[in-house]
Structure 1
């Protein structure tokens, strides 16, 4: 059994990011994952500008390496479709030049992106990466350390600090940290891959269709390499239950009958099964730490409630988790009170954006109001820019503090 200062459960974007930042700071860690990479993960597969900036914080060359990867396509913007069918095209950068500008976003299957990060992990001697190891629920010892066993009960590690990044279904988050599934703050989703979808944007704009049947939520179509597309739907779990919606049946029906989609999918071929997943949303502030542990990413319920984006937030939490792990080691203080600084750091970065996303999610309860906003956005640069910034790594905190911003958001030109 290994005795270690830091053990990370889960090698997705949050856990891998934490491990890489720890390695950059000269700290050794143990990184465990039950999967063997490359492995698939049900997701929308879109990477926002926030992800690119987080990659740059890990290593200056990583964004360029990702951009050169044939598994990805660059994305230059978003097409929003309001419930009334009105399309609002929002480029990530106004008047962009594909020949000279770097793409603000990318679309790449999680199979490939997560493995992109894992390949970086494998290069770092400071990281003891063990894949294919299904860890049981850790047990805290009288001295505060965490005993980690494998699924068969054999001891694997004794860790001073546990970084929990093992996803939306984390047993630790539920049973130890007390994060119950709350239907009002949880999203049910489906994803499938298609080939031959017609009418995809030449510059790989991602599509968000806010269709009445799926409110509060949306249907997405994200272009991928080789003529493929990631197609899915996400809807608030509370609404799925109240409306008694069978998402799988309704998704198939919408693709066949909706005026904006039926012709585009008439000749499309679905590749593999439709897979489901659950997303714990960051629409309510939760406690992210406790004695000798930190929660990261989906395990910390940090998913954007409006866009459904979780990768960048997982990476942000991974960066701050590495920082506070280093602080705890330096101070030899692993108490809940000390580690609460991690919560403050994460919410200082993400809190106001999550609140704005929650407000925009609530807007979907009133389709007529969403239609009004979409109609106004065509002539409202402030609103169009705000929608774009939801996907970019531009710090909105200063403008969110200014009352004039909200007036411009509703009535500005």
Structure 2
């Protein structure tokens, strides 16, 4: 049996970030993942500005290594397309200026396959003296004991920890069985992903694209640029809408690329690489308790995906870092109680709460195409709206803005 202060279940972005932060705090931890890396993960593959800012806070050297990695495409922002096809381009930094040479040369967002990014993070873990990584171990048993959790794979691999950080993704058994968080179709998104090569008309600054097509509402169609002329192409839609409308998302994707008047031209010389894969996105459109006696949930295991943009990786890493900081405080105070760890929930609310609520409101606008068209039209002309949306990708505390009445006046009247 392995004994440790902190055991992290899952070595994806949320779990890996928690371990990197714990290493900086000089706290020993064990990371366990059922996969052996590198491994594929069905995802949109977008890394917003939150990713780089999070790594810079932990260790600027890691951020520099990511900047220099060759497996990614540099991306400067995101383009939203309303049902009326009006485009709204948002930089990944609030002060982004396409005419500013420094901004053009220093992107803070990227697009890369999870195969490569998650492997990058795992390699960083292997540099850490306070981190022990175990791959190919599927934890299926969780036993709360007076002095900690005993977890095992049922085959002889056991870890005893004072504290668990659960980062096992959207289907983490712990989330449902112990934390009591169940999948709710109105707070869960169904997604499909495909890789195409040779898609035309990509943004010169490699903006990711979210298209809210009239015939696809309340879902959206995305195109994210990748290295080597590839693109991550997919559809996301609330699960309750998929079930209610009996929507076949794979058929919808094929129909769009073959029949939509705009996209059939962009995809006429494109070829599908591999197969179309599906996955689930647990949304942060409902506030939940993400901690309890001797545990904290991070990332997808804590239902923290942005309801409007689908931002998952940045939120997972941000929550992983917050969980690690709380773990260090808990160890210092020798307090692993539910009451003590509730401070993690307070930090999640402080950092992500305003953003997730704003995103949920915008998501609901998609059900009203005329209002959503109006919102995008306003945003295309109003720098304050653009700044607000940019903050959602850059880890800027929105509370200070959203509590000032003057900010709303500027949203309405400032061009």
**TM-score in terms of structure 1 length:** 0.96
Alpha-carbon distance, 1:360 to partner: 0.6
1:133 alignment partner, one of 130, 133, 137:
137
Matched with 2:398 is 396
Alpha-carbon distance, 1:144 to partner: 4.5
Alpha-carbon distance, 1:131 to partner: 0.5
Trace 1:146-165 onto structure 2 (pairs within 5 A).
146-152=149-155, 154-165=156-167
Matched with 2:239 is 237
- Secondary structure of residue in 2 paired with 1:162: strand
Alpha-carbon distance, 1:296 to partner: 0.8
The whole-number CA distance in structure 1 between the counterparts of 2:214 and 2:184 is 23
Matched with 1:250 is 252
The whole-number CA distance in structure 1 between the counterparts of 2:223 and 2:121 is 25
Matched with 1:304 is 306
Alpha-carbon distance, 1:99 to partner: 7.6
1:109 alignment partner, one of 104, 113, 122:
113
Q: Deviations over 1:132-171 (max 9, x none)?
A: 1111131212x1521111143x241111111110000011
Contact persistence 2:285–2:360 (CA under 8 A): yes
Alpha-carbon distance, 1:217 to partner: 2.9
The whole-number CA distance in structure 2 between the counterparts of 1:242 and 1:91 is 35
Contact persistence 1:31–1:127 (CA under 8 A): yes
1:276 alignment partner, one of 260, 278, 290:
278
- Secondary structure of residue in 1 paired with 2:323: helix
Matched with 2:230 is 228
Aligned residues: 411
Alpha-carbon distance, 1:77 to partner: 2.1
Contact persistence 1:76–1:104 (CA under 8 A): yes
- Secondary structure of residue in 2 paired with 1:187: strand
Contact persistence 2:62–2:124 (CA under 8 A): no
Matched with 1:363 is 365
**TM-score in terms of structure 2 length:** 0.96
Trace 1:10-409 onto structure 2 (pairs within 5 A).
10-92=10-92, 93-94=96-97, 95-97=99-101, 101-141=105-145, 143-152=146-155, 154-409=156-411
Contact persistence 1:147–1:155 (CA under 8 A): no
Contact persistence 1:148–1:157 (CA under 8 A): yes
Contact persistence 2:53–2:394 (CA under 8 A): no
Q: Deviations over 1:296-339 (max 9, x none)?
A: 11101111111111111111111111111111111111111111
Alpha-carbon distance, 1:215 to partner: 2.3
Give the aligned CA root-mean-square deviation in angstroms: 1.4
Alpha-carbon distance, 1:89 to partner: 2.5
Contact persistence 1:214–1:234 (CA under 8 A): no
Structure 1: runs of 5+ lacking an equivalent:
none
The whole-number CA distance in structure 1 between the counterparts of 2:104 and 2:193 is 34
